[in-house]
Amino acid sequence: MNFQSVRGMRDQVPEAARRWSHVETGFKQVLASFSYEEIRLPLLESTALFSRSVGENTDIVQKEMYSLRDRDGESITLRPEGTAGCVRAGLQQGLLFNQVQRFWYAGPMFRYERPQKGRYRQFEQIGAEAFGMAGADLDAELLQLCADAFQRLGVADHLTLELNTLGTAASRQAYRDALVAYLEPRQAQLDEDSQRRLARNPLRILDSKDEGTQDLLAEAPGLEDFLDDESKAHFDDLLTLLEQLDIGYRVNTRLVRGLDYYTHTVFEWVTDALGAQGTVCAGGRYDGLVEQLGGRPSPAAGFALGVDRLVLLHEVVFPDWQSPAVDAYCVVLGPAQRAWAMALCQRLRLDLPALKLRLHNGGGKLKNQLRRADQSGAVCALLIGEDEVNDNRVTLKWLLSAQSQERLDYETLRERLRGINR
Ligand code: ATP
Ligand code: MG
């Protein structure tokens, strides 16, 4: 029998996993440098948490969740996103009331979607969520953080920031009513998905890809006309800060997020390098969510980065990027030298924790072992035979350059290896 992975679930073989880890580590370093703290959360939550927070009428809750009955009959769901669980944990652990918090988390999310490039059923997000800060300076900080991370990873030139404001809950509601009043008499001209959304989640119609729907929307009332003073002031403040920070953006008044809990700022970082799945990171402000989940009101804002898509973008920008698995390859000429070689390698690993040192396993001829060393991508081989052991020295052979080989004592060898820089 030939087993295959479940549809929409991907393996990351070591070569791909190295790039993945490079991208993920780079982003996490920036989160740490903005003093965001890691919070580790369960993959399973009660189903009601998501219908309550993400919203009964969203695509996620309507058709994308992996829900199952626990053995005692409780309905639980593999998390489709991280914000709900993060707020749930913050409330349960007493971290939100009257406090300022900056959290991040990373890990797999699960949605039953049609798999295609950039869209999978298990995918990874890095999320950041900040609580207790109502001002636009927090929105700007989140965007500065993303911009910084994209810069450090070398992909910033391929990403554009799109921004919009949904305003306060009140202005959002007023607009929603006006939009429904405009669309209801024209319902027949909407695409099928949008017709369904009209009753349930009308704002989502704004980002329909259907041309007929878009034509209809061109004449529709605009969200910008329904913003109250508070909504406008918040957005203007943010735009000014972004200009002062020299963070480029494009206001897109059609941008709405699929999740129900957003207020004020919503944003997406988009690229045209990945085809249809161009949104790499999405987020915004969700001042109403903490209260909606039973807490005392607390302003909040955050984003979720789609790591799969960021890695795909990194592949497009740096097709030749490589990170070798092995720096130094230790060749052992005979069984009598195995223990000596293992002890030597162990000493080197303790002294040089970053060195990737592979010890040849299983013996064999010098020539064959050296071929393995070449294949491993190592920059050098350490040769250990009878002479080396008797002499208490190691022969160092460079594999990528024509430097002649040398027989070195431990300290000199260690310093040579310390100098490997890649
Ligand atoms: P989309 O419009 O592409 O379906 P979304 O609005 O459902 O995205 P969010 O819930 O905001 O996405 O999730 C944040 C980010 O997570 C997205 O911008 C994207 O980068 C990533 N993401 C969402 N769903 C998937 C998926 N099925 N596969 C891979 N990445 C995903
Ligand atoms: Mg989606």
For the chain, the structural domain boundaries read 14-168+228-317, 328-418
Beta strand pairing status for 357-359 and 394-398?
unpaired
Residue 213 CA to ligand 2 center (angstroms) comes to: 19
Closest Cα to atom 25 of ligand 1: 119
Determine the pLDDT at residue 227. 95
50: closest CA among 78, 89, 17, 92? 78
Closest Cα to atom 24 of ligand 1: 119
Determine the pLDDT at residue 259. 67
Residues with Cβ within 8 Å of 143's Cβ and at least 6 positions away in sequence, in order, are 161, 242, 247, 249, 267
CATH 3.40.50.11440 fits 14-168+228-317, yes or no: no
Q: Which atom of ligand 1 is least distant from the CA of 121?
A: 27
Q: Indicate whether residue 64 lines ligand 1 (CB < 6 A).
A: no
125: closest CA among 135, 110, 140, 139? 110
Q: Indicate whether residue 166 lines ligand 1 (CB < 6 A).
A: no
| Cβ-contact 5, 11 below 8 angstroms | yes
- Region for residue 356 given its phi and psi (left: phi exceeds 0; alpha: psi -120 to 50; beta: otherwise): beta
Same fold, 14-168+228-317 and 328-418: no
State how far the Cα of 344 lies from the Cα of 328, in Å rounded to an integer.
13
Q: Which residue among 279, 281, 308 is best mutated to probe the pocket of ligand 1, counting the most ligand atoms within 8 A of its Cβ?
A: 279
Q: Indicate whether residue 120 lines ligand 1 (CB < 6 A).
A: yes
Q: Indicate whether residue 125 lines ligand 1 (CB < 6 A).
A: yes
Q: Provide block-wise average pLDDT over 10 residues at a time, the chain (422 residues).
A: 95 96 98 98 97 87 95 97 98 97 98 97 98 98 98 98 93 91 94 89 86 91 92 97 98 81 93 96 95 95 98 98 95 97 98 97 96 96 97 97 94 96 76
383: closest CA among 352, 410, 405, 404? 405
User: Which ligand has the nearest atom to the CA of 110?
Assistant: 1
Determine the pLDDT at residue 269. 98
CATH superfamily of 328-418: Anticodon-binding domain (3.40.50.800)
pTM here?
0.93
CA distances from residue 1 to 4, 5, 390 in whole angstroms, order as listed? 10, 13, 53
Determine the pLDDT at residue 397. 97
At 308, the amino acid letter reads: D
